[in-house]
Structure 1
Amino acid sequence: MLRTASLALALFVFWLLLSGHYTVWLMTAGLAVSVLLALAGRRLGFADEEGHPVDRVIAGLTYWPWLAREIVKSSITVTKIILDPKLPISPRLFHTKVSARTPVGVATYANSITLTPGTITVAVDRENDRFLVHALTGAGAEDVEAGDMDRRVKRFEGRAE
């Protein structure tokens, strides 16, 4: 029930942000529609742990700022590479291990790799717990293979190292 209430609240806040109208009638209607959609989502199965992982919000408050820093650092690195007339790239395609066990953890890790400039998750192999990753440089590949992001996603999932 907490997940459904959280989904209703998230939908209502999203509606308020998009609407820009704050009359009593429209806010009441927005709240009613948000609650109905959350109940329908619960019944249809998208208000579950995978579709609305509200229990990961607290863990996300430590993971997302770290990811934002990594994105900025990688953006600067890729920008330097692009602006260098010699274009010092050494593309690599490699497999990396995945410690994440939940669908939310696997998706978070795969998307985090892709969001970080210079690396892309090409394929997910759940049977062998690995990703196929393309990196623009050897250093980018080494960063992924070092496993820091993997360990942080594992913590984000709620699993200790």
Structure 2
Amino acid sequence: MKKCFIYSIALGFIWCFVSGNISPGNFLIGTILGYLLLRPLRVLYDFEARDSLVVRLQQIPKQIKYFSKLIVEIIKASIAVAKIIIQPNIDIKPGIISVPISAKTNVGITAIANTITLTPGTLTIDVSDDRSTLYVHCIDIDDSDKVRDSIREELEEYVLEAFE
């Protein structure tokens, strides 16, 4: 509960800066809205976890590395999709593949699924009931093992490092 309140205060500050009105009343509104936003998300993020500030600060370089890798992957995938679109005869083999994942937390699974979806040409469709497999639609699958390995080695590794 204490962490949820602290995050609400941080969202209150963000609200002030985004709205362009830095005042006590606006801060209070932002804090209340932040708390109301965080309440339903309690099941996704464990506010009762005993993570120290040092652990959180140590994750920042890993998260920067993840976001850098994500940007590179988005650019590479965008170029690949653009090549497919520009071709006079579109010869693609769309399909759905299953990708086993190592993430165990809700945040890790959500981060991997969203990372896949943000990458052009791929879309996370579902998570298995046991939360060990993602089902991913790909615009072009020449070799499903290659695509699966690419997701596991190039994306999941960075997500696990940054968020779990």
Same topology, TM > 0.5: yes
Are 1:6 and 2:32 an aligned pair? no
Q: Name the residue aligned to 2:112.
A: 109
Question: Of residues 28, 31, 34 in structure 1, which corresponds to 2:24?
Answer: 28
Residue 144 of structure 1: how far off its partner (Å): 3.7
* Partner Cα distance (2:83, 2:102) in 1: 32
* Partner Cα distance (2:35, 2:121) in 1: 41
Structure 1 length as normaliser, TM-score? 0.76
Conserved? CA contact 1:12–1:30, under 8 Å:
no
Residue 38 of structure 1: how far off its partner (Å): 4.6
Are 1:16 and 2:17 an aligned pair? yes
* Partner Cα distance (2:120, 2:141) in 1: 14
Q: How does 1:139-154 map to 2 (within 5 A)?
A: 141=144, 142-146=146-150, 147-148=152-153, 149-154=155-160
Residue 95 of structure 1: how far off its partner (Å): 0.7
Conserved? CA contact 2:11–2:31, under 8 Å:
no
* Partner Cα distance (2:100, 2:90) in 1: 29
Question: Of residues 36, 45, 65 in structure 2, which corresponds to 1:50?
Answer: 45
SS where residue 70 of structure 2 aligns?
helix
Are 1:137 and 2:133 an aligned pair? no
* CA displacement 1:11-63 (0-9 Å, x = unmatched): 3213421x2334xxxx1112222334455567x463576288x9497242221
* Partner Cα distance (1:13, 1:138) in 2: 42
**Relative to 1, partners in 2 of residues 1:120 and 1:81: Cα closer, same or farther, differing over 3 Å?**
same
**Two-structure CA RMSD over aligned residues (Å):** 3.0
SS where residue 41 of structure 2 aligns?
coil
SS where residue 102 of structure 2 aligns?
coil
SS where residue 16 of structure 1 aligns?
helix
* Partner Cα distance (1:105, 1:125) in 2: 15
Q: Which moved more, 1:148-157 or 1:112-121?
A: 148-157
Q: Name the residue aligned to 2:69.
A: 66
How many residue pairs match? The answer is: 152
* Partner Cα distance (1:136, 1:32) in 2: 46
- Identity value in percent: 25
SS where residue 46 of structure 1 aligns?
helix
Letter of the 1:11 partner, please give it. G
* Partner Cα distance (2:159, 2:131) in 1: 18
* Partner Cα distance (2:17, 2:46) in 1: 21
